[in-house]
Structure formats: structure tokens, C-alpha cells
Amino acid sequence: MNCLTHRFSDPDTLIDRAHSVFSSLEEDDDLPGWLNEKTMHRLKLAVHEWLANLVQHANFGDRRPDVSVTVRPGRDGVECVIEDNSEGFDLNGHLDTKTDVLDAYPERGMGLLMIKACTEGLSYTDLGDQRHRLTFVVSSEQDPWLNIPF
Amino acid sequence: MTNATMSFSIESVSDETVTVKIGKALDFRNAADFKSTCQDEVQNGARNFILDFSDTGILDSTGLGSIFSLYRQVSPLNGQVVFASVSRPVQVVVQLTRTYKVFRQFSSVDAAQESMP
């Protein structure tokens, strides 16, 4: 499995196209042994949640959306980099203030916490020139848990 | 997403129990439709919901939130929400959020239907 980068520009089809890419990856005979099915599903979930965040909340101004998803195998897991040309978010501030799901049976507000729970080394960087980069690693060693009060 | 995956098929099991076939995805794109569909069923007397995830490749946070919303609606009515034929992608979300503590899981829709009052 080599480094893969895919670019997307249509928010209406972004999610389905991204999942199609992952479906192709899952059929790849060249997948490393440690990239088990559970790790792949966690990777897909984290990517989906961030792309869903972009589709629902990102402000691209009058620019044509340009979203790239790069997946590369690392020593301890899969590294994923998602770049976009939106105005960006205060993700770090959001995660600093909301470290846990507070409401019982919450209807909203779980997406970013799901990303945080099932990834390692989560970082979000303003690259300047209206580019932003989300980076994270999904490790095959994890047994993540998002604490939702029931 | 096609129209076929936006809608949910409902099978009535009894006066108070329905099976909802989730389809390929329950996510931010169709969670409102899911809530609306289930709300109609509750108004028609349904209290117990069997969610059939056999074909489901995507369950995201908004989709899970819509299931919590249904649970909040039927639990005061002594109703239940249970999961059947849970696919691997859905199982990853269930494990991540430990929602197996809230929603009983069954290996098949038939098994879930047999467990209902």
C-alpha cells in the first residue's frame, strides 16, 4: 500500500466519493497485515466525521471547494492528512473546552469527539493562504472509547 | 447518495413493534428523515423499534444522535430500540460509544422480533 491522495471539489458527492476510495482500498491485496478491518473502519469513521463537518459547516467563501485526503501507512498506524481551502474552524479551542460528551443520549456534538477518541496525534493547522490541514493517526493498537453518559 | 438510500423501509411486526431497514447509511444526510419516519410510526402507536443494519456501511455521529432521539421518545412509553444484524462498520461505532449498554443487539431481525413483547 502506497501513499494515496484524492482531491474532491463537489460537497454534494464528497462523502460518497471518499467512501468509494476506501472501498477500493479495502479490496487492495497489498494492504499491510496490521491494517485490520477494525482499524480501517475507524479510519473511515474519522475521515467521514471531518468531511461531514466540512460539508455542513465550512465557509469556502466564493472559492470552489478544494479538499484533499491523503492516507499513508506509517510505522504505528495509518496517517491521514485532510487539507481544505475553507476559512477554517477553532477546532483546538473547541476540543480544549469540550473534552467529553456532557449530555445523556446526545443528539449533536459527538462528531469531533469521535474523531479525537479514535485517533492519535490529532492536529489542526492554519497553513495560511486560506488552507487548513487536519492530521491524525489511526493505530491498530487502540481500543478507543468515547464516554457518553447513559 | 441516491434516493433509495435516503429513505427507510418499515415493516410492521405488531401493533407496537416495527422493523426499520436502515439501508446503506444513517448519517448527517438522512438523519432528519429517519427521525421524521420514526416519529410518524410513534404517532401511529409504535413503541418498539428493531433497527436492521445488515446493509449499513455508514453510521456517523448525527445518525447515532437520531437513534438517541428515538430512544428518548419511546423509553418513557416503555418502548425499546434494539439493533439487529449489525454490520462491522456499525459495530465499530457501537464499540466506540459503548452503546451496546443501551441498545440490545441481535444476530438477526427474526431473533429481534421473537424477543419483542
CA atoms within 13 A on the CB side of B35: 17
- Between A24 and B107, the more confident residue is B107
Show which of residues 23-52 on chain B sit within 8 Å of chain A, judged by CB atoms.
27-29
**Residues B115, B117: Cα–Cα separation, whole Å:** 7
Give the minimum alpha-carbon distance from B117 to chain A in angstroms, rounded to a whole number. Answer: 24
Q: Do B96 and A150 touch (CB under 8 A)?
A: no
ipTM of predicted assembly, 2 dp: 0.92
* Cβ within 8 Å, pair A52-B102: no
Environment class of B62 (CB within 10 Å of its CB; exposed 0-12, middle 13-18, buried 19+) = buried
- The model's confidence at residue A96, banded by pLDDT at 50, 70 and 90, is confident
Q: Does the beta carbon of B9 lie under 8 angstroms from any beta carbon of chain A?
A: no
The Cα of B58 is separated from the nearest Cα of chain A by a number of Å equal to: 8
Cα separations in angstroms, A107 against A67, B23, B64, B68, B70: 27, 20, 7, 6, 10
Distance CA A126, CA A75 (A): 26
pLDDT at site A100:
65
Q: What distance in Å separates residue B91's CA from the closest CA in chain A? A: 9
Lowest mean pLDDT among A35-44, A58-67, B73-82: A35-44
Identify the pLDDT of residue B4: 39
* pLDDT, average across residues A39-65: 95
Q: b or e along A130-140 (b: 16 or more beta carbons within 10 Å of the residue's beta carbon)?
A: eebbbbbbbbb
Nearest by CB to B65, which of A44, A107, A144? A107
pLDDT digit string, tens, across residues B60-70: 999 999 999 99
**Integer distance in angstroms from the first to the last C-alpha of chain A?**
40
Strand partners, A73: A78
**Cβ-contact A106, B65 below 8 angstroms:** yes
Amino acid (1-letter code) at residue A38: K
Contacts of A42 (CB under 8 A, 6+ apart): A118, A119, A138, A142, A144, B92, B96
Q: For residue B25, is pLDDT > 60? A: yes
pTM here?
Answer: 0.94
pLDDT score recorded for residue A26: 81
Q: What percent of chain A has pLDDT above 70?
A: 94
Interface of B with A in 59-78 (CB under 8 A): 60-62, 64-66, 68-69, 71-72
Instruction: Report, as an integer, the average pLDDT of A54-60.
Output: 96
Position A38 confidence tier, pLDDT thresholds 50, 70, 90: confident
Beta carbons of B89 and B58 less than 8 angstroms apart: yes
Determine whether the interchain pair A41/B69 forms a contact, defined as Cβ–Cβ distance below 8 Å: no
| Min Cα–Cα distance to chain B from A128, Å | 29
Parallel, antiparallel, or unpaired: how do β-strands B58-59 and A120-128 relate?
Answer: unpaired
Which residues, in sequence order, are CB contacts of B49 under 8 Å at separation 6+?
B17, B18, B19, B20, B38, B41, B70, B74, B79, B80, B81, B82
Say which of B60, B65, B71 has its CB closest to residue A49. Answer: B60
Q: Is the dihedral of CA B54, B24, B32, B67 positive or negative?
A: positive
Chain A residues near residue B101 by CB distance under 8 angstroms: 150
pLDDT tier at A101 (50, 70, 90 boundaries)? low
Q: Concatenated DSSP letters for A89-145?
A: --HHHHHHH--S--SSS-SSS-HHHHHHHT-EEEEEEEEETTEEEEEEEEETT----
Which residues of chain B make contact with A42, given a CB cutoff of 8 A?
Answer: 92, 96
